[in-house]
Amino acid sequence: MPTHTEREHPWVGMIWAQARDRVIGDGGDMPWHLPEDFAHFRAMTRGCPVVMGRRTWESLPEAARPLPGRRNIVVTGDSSRAAEIEGAGAEAVDSLATGLQVAAAPSSASDASSAASAVRDSSGAPERIWILGGGAIYAEAVERGLADAAVVTVIDLDVDGDTRAPRLSEEDWRLESSDPADGGWHVAENGLRHRFERHARRR
């Protein structure tokens, strides 16, 4: 089983939004509307490769697939769906580990996906990779030590859901920062209270 020290890819972050009880989705959708979180997601992931499961890919609005300005890599074990994903402009892989390897590969400046992904080092390799879910993908990343950080939008909301974020144990993870810094809340235009947390995996 690979560990962080055995990996040869850039910094890897997971990003998600969660309500109380770590709910991140219900029926393939997010059971809330928080434009401030969408803006935060775009700002964090812009110019970076993103790796996601097939259901997360299919939950994106068709007009937003693939996510613009990012190299989209989708994990699926279904060959027919893989062909559809490739046809829609993303890259299909058969595992999360393979997806991270593909995302970490240097791209030439002439590559269209490279042109969209500007956050790269001098070798052409990306400096950051983001994992977008869903629940099983996040859980695997946590269990196998494949991610360096988790950027979490915490929403002060009780809501039913069938998908939960993995638990980040204090033994393996630490809260690195919170916005607001005092652990309080931002209030969205629609009244939803939320904050942005960054958790780092302990070495």
Distance in angstroms (rounded) separating the CA atoms of residues 147 and 153: 17
Distance in angstroms (rounded) separating the CA atoms of residues 113 and 123: 15
Average pLDDT taken over every residue of the chain: 91
**pLDDT confidence of residue 114:** 44
Per the domain annotation, does 125 fall within a domain?
Answer: yes
**pLDDT confidence of residue 51:** 98
Per the domain annotation, does 161 fall within a domain?
Answer: yes
Which domain covers residue 60, as residue numbers? Answer: 7-201
Per the domain annotation, does 160 fall within a domain?
Answer: yes
Residue range 16-45, pLDDT digits in tens: 999 999 999 999 999 999 999 999 999 999
Give me the DSSP letters along 26-39.
BTTB-SS--HHHHH
Give the residues of the chain that fall short of pLDDT 50.
Answer: 1-7, 109-117
Q: DSSP letter at 62?
A: G
Residue range 125-147, pLDDT digits in tens: 899 999 999 999 999 999 999 99
Exposed/middle/buried for 122, CB within 10 Å: 0-12, 13-18, 19+?
exposed
Per the domain annotation, does 91 fall within a domain?
Answer: yes
Asked whether the whole model's pTM tops 0.95, one would answer no
| Domain count within the chain | 1
Per the domain annotation, does 2 fall within a domain?
Answer: no
Distance in angstroms (rounded) separating the CA atoms of residues 36 and 24: 16
- Residue 43 dihedral angles phi and psi, to the nearest 5°: -65, -40
Q: DSSP letter at 126?
A: B
**Domain harbouring 80, CATH code:** 3.40.430.10
